[in-house]
Amino acid sequence: MKNPVEKTLLELEAKGLKRSLTIVESATGPRVTIEGKDTLLMCSNDYLSLANHPRVKEAAIKAIEKYGVGSGASRLTSGTMTPHIELEEKIKEFKKTEAALVFNSGYNANTGLIPSLIAKHGYVFSDKLNHASITDGCLLSRATLKRYPHSDTRALEELLNEAGNADKLIVTDGVFSMDGDMARLREIIELADRYNSTVLVDDAHGVGVLGESGRGSLEHLGITHSSVIQMGTLGKAIGTFGAYATGSKKLKELLMNKMRPFIYTTSLPPAICAAAIAAIDVMQKEPWRRKKVVQNAAVVREALNKQGFDTLKSSTQIIPVVIGDAEKTMAVSRKLLTRGLFVQGIRPPTVPENSSRLRLTVTAGHTDEDIEFAIKTLKEVLREEGL
């Protein structure tokens, strides 16, 4: 008899789904050191290349000198420090909303926001391709969970209709993290208005990149709908760590009182808040970063499509290259790494069965030469592997 730990690991191995860690030995950025070798990195979410930006680092160092490293307590005890408030002010001003509240991570945010917005007798509607943290938040809420087929607003409408007068929450990624396409937010918001539902948009991959001022998916689509609750992360385009929600002052008050991952955890280190403020500032002052991401994405997508590779409905900096088989995907990823290009393979349960893929991401720091090298290397390796 094998113990449960070994049994699970053996099952994963048999299915080609056992995961392991790749170690980055340098600061993250467009190029990194892996196994002592200079490697082009194309699977990071540091979209604006701010994680190692001198101004962002300087802000963190100064804050460490002034405030130390840890906050020492949760937000509601003695863990609210000046940088937390300054970061919330900065986000509020940047997102042009009434209020903002900061959390320790996007995962934390979703597992707390959803149960704060919908409870046991309510209904929560979630796109099937939403991030795992959204699914977990839905389950924790104990509301009836209705998952609708990806971006199928007709199916969503049927489900909303069936829910009758119950409390409702629709939750969706703004940009889908593994497919790189955008939610049909205009239709979703219209349905929400018609069926009296709250809307929560997780803009982890939209904020900083999309929209004229980097405000994210809603700005990109020209939607100014003040009642939409937006969540975003600071660990991706903003290059640091943490997450936030924006909405009304009343919403903020509710979350401060009800949201367990806000209440029952030590607050973000003050230096991370200071770094995030600096990163948002750089993002606002350097719109070329957004433009470069969009341009790099267009070049890569076009080149792959021209070669007949399936990039699904990607329209953003996230570009999936669907391979299908899990083991084959990992073999391709390993081979790319030996040629100096790191693109992680993504397998179930992160993506649906038989849709294992390379999840390529481009950043502002990738030069035209980097992009050219990546396209050439991808073409070579995919061909060699008979794809």
What are the catalytic residues? 177, 205, 236
The least distance separating ligand PLP from the CB of residue 233, rounded to whole angstroms, comes to 4
3-state secondary structure of 237: coil
| 80 φψ region: left (φ > 0), alpha (ψ -120 to 50), beta (else) | beta
The values of phi and psi at residue 260, to 5°, are -60, -45
Beta strands in the chain (DSSP E): 31-34, 37-41, 99-103, 123-127, 144-148, 168-173, 198-202, 229-233, 243-247, 318-324, 341-342, 345-346, 356-361
- Sites of contact with ligand PLP (CB under 6 A): 105-107, 110, 131, 133, 173, 177, 202, 204-205, 233, 235, 243
CB of 209 to ligand PLP, least distance (A): 12
- Kindly tell me which of 71 and 377 has the beta carbon lying closer to ligand PLP: 71
Q: Tell me how far, at minimum, the Cβ of 185 lies from ligand PLP, in Å.
A: 14
By C-beta, is 255 or 375 nearer to ligand PLP? 255
- Using alpha carbons, list the distances in angstroms from residue 8 to 4, 180, 345: 6, 31, 21
Nearer to ligand PLP, 163 or 204 (CB): 204
Cα(297)–Cα(364) distance, rounded to whole angstroms?
Answer: 10
d(CA 111, CA 124): 13
Minimum distance from residue 108 beta carbon to ligand PLP (Å)? 7
Q: How far apart are the first and last CA of the chain?
A: 41
Q: Which residue is nearest to ligand PLP (CB)?
A: 106
Phi, psi dihedrals of residue 137, rounded to the nearest 5° = -60, -40
Compute the least distance from the CB of residue 195 to ligand PLP, in Å.
Answer: 24
Give me the least distance between CB of 61 and ligand PLP, in Å please: 22
Q: Is 359 helix (H, G, I), strand (E, B) or coil?
A: strand
> Which is nearest to 83 in space by CA: 237, 209, 213, 234?
234
Q: Closest CB to ligand PLP among 171 and 274? A: 171
Q: Which residue in this structure is represented by tokens 């490293």?
A: 69
User: Closer CB to ligand PLP, residue 356 or residue 377?
Assistant: 356
Residue in 178, 249, 189 with CA at minimum distance from that of residue 217 = 189
Please state, in angstroms and as integers, the Cα–Cα distance from residue 351 to each residue in 20, 30, 323, 324, 336, following that order: 17, 25, 12, 10, 21
Of 106 and 247, CB closest to ligand PLP: 106
